[in-house]
Amino acid sequence: MILTHIHLKGASCPPEEVLSRLAQKWAEEDREKFVASMQSLLRTQQNRIRDAGLWDSMEEGELKFMVTGAMEVSKRQRIDSGWVVESIGCLCWALGFLKRVPPYDQQSGKEVIAFPQGERAATLLENAELRHPFEIDRQRDWAELWHWRARTHMLLLQGEAPPGLPRGARLAEILRLTAIGAAGDGVFDAPIDNDFPAFGKTYRAVDPEQIGSLLSIARERHKAFNWLCGYSPDNRWADTPTGT
């Protein structure tokens, strides 16, 4: 629920380029009205967080973000808060609110943030049923595997081989064997051209523009499952490792 509020806060903040265009047309009165409306929206969301019994459970960075004015939110913060929906989806799946984790070339939909207004954390917990640890551990392994594949592809696009490998010499065979093993474990139906599938084609044919999306999906889901499985020091969300 905290991550959902983080996501909604980021989505409500206008991009810098939009603000810049509007500022060229605004009179001072218009600007003041806009700032006042954004501050009112932020106060409403802060009150919802408190009413849900969540405020004292937020980490330092989350609290700082939630009190930052909409005009001061950075582009990086907006991007990060947008992708956190992938983590939310994984946690909703683990609690039984979603039937499946979407494929790793498909972004999570708005259904993952569809909590009823006014829902309290205690009520949500009462209606939740954590899936079997085996299912969660398996999904964590799959998320790490997809994250590894995305990072490997990114390194190749940058002209670098993954650490510890001769420069591309054995990578094709490693990918082939890994893809075969992953398909056998149920990670996906079948390899495409001896590689992971993505957007209906072999992973190594993914466009540079698409790899950013694949990497963000895998990283956020990997983080969620690592946190859920106890990999984070002191259970702190911000410190959850995502190494592959």
- Write the pLDDT tens digit of every residue in 59-95: 999 999 999 988 889 889 999 999 999 999 999 999 9
Please give the pLDDT value at position 148: 96
Amino acid type, 39? Q
Are residues 16 and 108 located together in one domain of the fold? yes
Q: How many Å apart are CA 234 and CA 14, to the nearest integer?
A: 34
Last residue of a domain, one of 68, 97, 127: 127
Are residues 116 and 10 located together in one domain of the fold? yes
120 occurs within a structural domain? yes
101 occurs within a structural domain? yes
Q: Is the pLDDT of residue 162 over 90?
A: no
The 8-class DSSP code of residue 74 comes to -
Are residues 45 and 158 located together in one domain of the fold? no
161 occurs within a structural domain? yes
Are residues 103 and 144 located together in one domain of the fold? no
Please give the pLDDT value at position 70: 82
164 occurs within a structural domain? yes
> Helix or strand or coil: residue 197?
strand
Q: How many Å apart are CA 221 and CA 47, to the nearest integer?
A: 29
36 occurs within a structural domain? yes
- Asked if 150 and 210 count as a contact pair (C-beta separation under 8 A), the reply is no
Are residues 142 and 121 located together in one domain of the fold? no
Q: How many Å apart are CA 226 and CA 52, to the nearest integer?
A: 26
Which residues form the domain of 223?
Answer: 133-239
Q: How many Å apart are CA 220 and CA 237, to the nearest integer?
A: 11
Q: Is the pLDDT of residue 19 over 80?
A: no
Are residues 230 and 163 located together in one domain of the fold? yes
Are residues 148 and 120 located together in one domain of the fold? no
Please say whether the dihedral angle defined by the alpha carbons of residues 102, 91, 62 and 232, taken in this order, is positive or negative.
negative
Are residues 36 and 89 located together in one domain of the fold? yes
Are residues 90 and 137 located together in one domain of the fold? no
Please give the pLDDT value at position 180: 96
207 occurs within a structural domain? yes
Are residues 17 and 119 located together in one domain of the fold? yes
How many separate domains does the chain show? 2
Of residues 51 and 163, more confidently modeled? 51
120-142: average pLDDT:
89
Last residue of a domain, one of 127, 149, 166: 127
181 occurs within a structural domain? yes
Last residue of a domain, one of 92, 127, 162: 127
Are residues 122 and 137 located together in one domain of the fold? no
Q: Is the pLDDT of residue 172 over 90?
A: no
Are residues 163 and 95 located together in one domain of the fold? no
pTM higher than 0.75 for the full model? yes
244 occurs within a structural domain? no
128-136: average pLDDT:
94
200-212: average pLDDT:
92
